[in-house]
Structure 1
Amino acid sequence: MAGVPEKARFFLERAVPQLREFEAKGIFTTDEIRALVRKRTDFEHLVLSPGNKSTDWLNYAAWEKSLETLRAKRCRRLQIRASSKHTGQGRIFGILERAVNRHPGNIELWKEYLAYAKDMKATKRYRKVMTRALRMHPTKPELWVLAGRRSASNGDMQAARGFFMRGARFCSRDATVWLEYARCEMEWLGRMDAKKGKKGGTERALQEQAEHSDDEIKFPEEDSDDDEVDVDTQLVLPDPENSTTKRVFDEEATKQLEGNPALDGAIPLAIFDIATKQPFFSPSTAEQFFDLFASFGAVSAQAQIVRHVLESMTRQYPNDPATCFCHIRQPLIDVGANTPSYPKALREALTHLKSSLSTTNDRSRLAEKVRSWIEPILASEDLDPGIRIVLEHTVQSLHKP
């Protein structure tokens, strides 16, 4: 069996043609080539040694990326157009592939591999790596979130929902996937609301969602000849670029989409309702949902969704500081501190604060939450003097019995 020096020599010799190109075209000097060969040799011996760490592979890949960036800059300065970038990219891909094979349990290596494939727009490789990563780490919420958000960013909400729902089944220890699923749906609602002002915008957007169904994880039929199937798990990520058929709505079907409950926030509400029945759900989780929904002021269904969350929190945790804190902030959602409606909303919020301080089961914790919320507002230099006096007095009175 070959030792570390022999293995290192094998990988180093594969880079010789590129080094000759560097020298022949004057991209790097002879001394620079010697220096990078020594550096590369050190890295190869380090990552091939028995005690190698995942950080060694990450550092190796980062160094190769910097070398590729320097090569590209010099080629532009020297106006060299014949130097191909694919050789350098292929070497980086090779290092990352070896890294995940050597440390398959390290999630950071998989994320770095996926990030580089995304940056290089290597769609097929990204799909294959994502399939392997999800198979290896089905309980890692960040991977499901990456897959879901990538599909959503490509305009394929059907595939994104598929990823998030599968991730929710596997990742039941915390609310990460659920929160990101809700965020993704709120972003979709925001896009739909933005299109409502355009003629046929909403109907056209819904058609697009129905048509793009080629980027989700599927379990193929037994007779399938899809060349993207992972033979170990029969898990496949079809390529949307190779799709030849699309389902198109006719005029009658389009009319039936009007008043679609999905546009009224039905999906985020369903996500929250199902999350309330999960083992991880708690007052702090409910507060996270409240904060998430409250951040989407451009969504027309926001008020209804926030109200639903508060009603649920009141039923389950009526006197918890998280519930009280959300009730206090509700009147001020999407109300700027320098707008004419702010004083009235602040008056209502302070009324809720007064009643909550007397009913909460943890007054000190609620007071700390309110103080951490008010202090950034007081830090604003253009805050109205009258409002500043009221808020400063509120902060001072929080710790009074």
Structure 2
Amino acid sequence: MSDKARYALEKSIPELEDLEKKGLFKRKEINMIVRRRTDFEHRIAGRGSKPADFLAYAKFEKNVDRLRAKRLARIKDHIDGAPSVSNWSIPQRILFVFQRGTNKFPSSMELWAAYLKYARKQESVKVVYDVYSKLLSLQPRNVDVWLSGAKWEFEYNKNVNGARALFKRCLRFNTEEERVWLEFLKFELNYLSKLLTRRKLLQLVSERSQLEDLQGNEAQKEVSGGENGANENENIVALNVDDDEINTDLNNLPEMNVSTLGSVEDNPVLRGDLIMAIYDVFIQTMTKRLAEPEKRERTKGLAYKVLSLVDKFDILDRTHMCDYIIQDLIQRYPEDPVCLVLQLTLPLRYVTLDDEAFVSGLQQNVKFYQAWVAKSKLSNESKEKVKEAYIKYIEERFLYHSKGEIRSLLELLTKKL
């Protein structure tokens, strides 16, 4: 037996003695556990070991711990229920198995995933931070890991700044990954939506009440962070990056740590202006190496995806953000019929057939379209394409889903157009 295997087994002696003393396992069962552990230790220490051996070892330990917990729940009224070494020794052993496995097979994502999943389940915040830090240092171009870390920071630790920092650092290593940019935008939209929803529910109207609420949240985070053994301002990973090696445009991303006090009317942050600044860098980064017409189609495709993201957050000033994106498309492609229809139908973008003002809103929009036709300097051919696209929008968005008088009105309207 190797020294490492012997050392690992000797460390489990107090735990096994405690299990027998509490009456949770009989001597015969403990001997079986020792034999299985000895076998696993030999397997993982050998030259022919595989990641599956570490996973099997961890699975065995989980089964032992599950059986221990069930027996303890059954006889807890008849024994001393005070926590002892056997309460935490097996989870610590499982984490140690995963640690050794990832050290030996650092490229095995199956091991890393199982390690993270178990650490999260045990709410071992410090271990989770360590795992992410090591994994991202080894695989800085693994987008899934970066996104997982950012999600952990935002949803579990409630650390918006930490999640945002991870997104930015991920983009430095994966500048042209479309998925990362879209997830970054989705994160910012989600955060802003939650912020406004909270203020609405708690009726935080004045800046003073908003500031008190923010300070209360910060104090609560510090307390929970101390209980979990993690600092709110602690980063999951700190990697040294040479600015010459990354896209310099990323260095110009707006700093999002700005005041979010006030209302949507008087604070551009709450209107989504900073999110639109990220959109600008996103489009520029993803299309700067492309040539026309590939650049044209790529830009339009990315803009449509961002518009679809914005559409999902109804508490935000969606019209303002959509107008910004559409105006950007119009400036780039002033004669594109699809882009022009997006601009012409923006007032109808969030109108439904059930709205009381649907008919009047539609009539106003048709007048707006007709006024545009009269003033536009585009060629007749271009105007005809815009008209076809506009009628198609009305039909697909409203006509095909309408009934009764509304349907008759829409049919007359499309014929008139």
Please report the TM-score for the alignment, with normalisation by the length of structure 2: 0.62
Q: Which moved more, 1:309-318 or 1:48-57?
A: 309-318
Letter in 1 for 2:87: K
Shift of 1:312: 4.1
Q: 2:187 aligned with 1:190, yes or no?
A: no
Q: 2:171 aligned with 1:168, yes or no?
A: yes
Letter in 1 for 2:204: K
Match of 1:189, SS? Answer: helix
Q: 1:296 aligns with which of 313, 318, 321?
A: 313
Structure-1 residue corresponding to 2:245? none
Q: How far apart in 2 are the matches of 1:253 and 1:304?
A: 18
1:27/1:71 contact within 8 Å kept: yes
Q: How far apart in 2 are the matches of 1:109 and 1:189?
A: 35
Structure-2 residue corresponding to 1:398? none
Pairs within 5 Å for 1:123-272: 123-153=125-155, 154-194=157-197, 195-196=199-200, 197-200=203-206, 201-204=209-212, 215-216=232-233, 259-272=266-279
Please, which runs of 5 or more residues in structure 2 have no aligned partner? 223-230, 242-258, 289-297, 370-383, 390-395, 409-417
Q: 2:322 aligns with which of 306, 312, 328?
A: 306
1:186/1:268 contact within 8 Å kept: yes
Structure-1 residue corresponding to 2:93? 91
Letter in 2 for 1:158: N
Q: 1:58 aligns with which of 55, 59, 75?
A: 55
Q: How far apart in 2 are the matches of 1:37 and 1:344?
A: 79
Q: CA RMSD in A?
A: 5.0
Q: Describe the shift of the 1:256–1:293 C-alpha distance in structure 2 as closer, same or farther (beyond 3 A).
A: closer
1:22-55: per-residue Cα shift (whole Å, max 9, x none)? 2232213445444444444443344333343334
Shift of 1:108: 4.0
Shift of 1:8: 3.8
2:132/2:237 contact within 8 Å kept: no
Letter in 2 for 1:138: P
Letter in 2 for 1:54: P
Shift of 1:285: 4.1
Q: How far apart in 1 are the matches of 2:153 and 2:74?
A: 37
Q: 1:77 aligns with which of 70, 74, 77?
A: 74
Number of aligned positions between the proteins: 338
Q: Describe the shift of the 1:268–1:23 C-alpha distance in structure 2 as closer, same or farther (beyond 3 A).
A: same
2:133/2:237 contact within 8 Å kept: no
Letter in 2 for 1:132: K
Letter in 1 for 2:57: Y
Q: 2:277 aligned with 1:274, yes or no?
A: no
Structure-2 residue corresponding to 1:368? none
Q: How far apart in 2 are the matches of 1:140 and 1:331?
A: 41
Letter in 2 for 1:272: Y
Q: Describe the shift of the 1:68–1:336 C-alpha distance in structure 2 as closer, same or farther (beyond 3 A).
A: farther
Please, which runs of 5 or more residues in structure 1 have no aligned partner? 219-227, 235-251, 360-370, 391-401
Shift of 1:102: 0.9
1:175/1:280 contact within 8 Å kept: no
Shift of 1:330: 7.4
2:150/2:162 contact within 8 Å kept: yes
Letter in 2 for 1:302: R
Shift of 1:341: 7.7
From the CA coordinates, give the structure whose radius of gyration is larger.
Answer: 2
Q: Describe the shift of the 1:253–1:76 C-alpha distance in structure 2 as closer, same or farther (beyond 3 A).
A: closer
Q: Which moved more, 1:320-329 or 1:334-343?
A: 320-329
Q: 2:45 aligned with 1:48, yes or no?
A: yes
1:185/1:267 contact within 8 Å kept: no
Q: How far apart in 2 are the matches of 1:321 and 1:109?
A: 51
Q: How far apart in 2 are the matches of 1:280 and 1:66?
A: 52
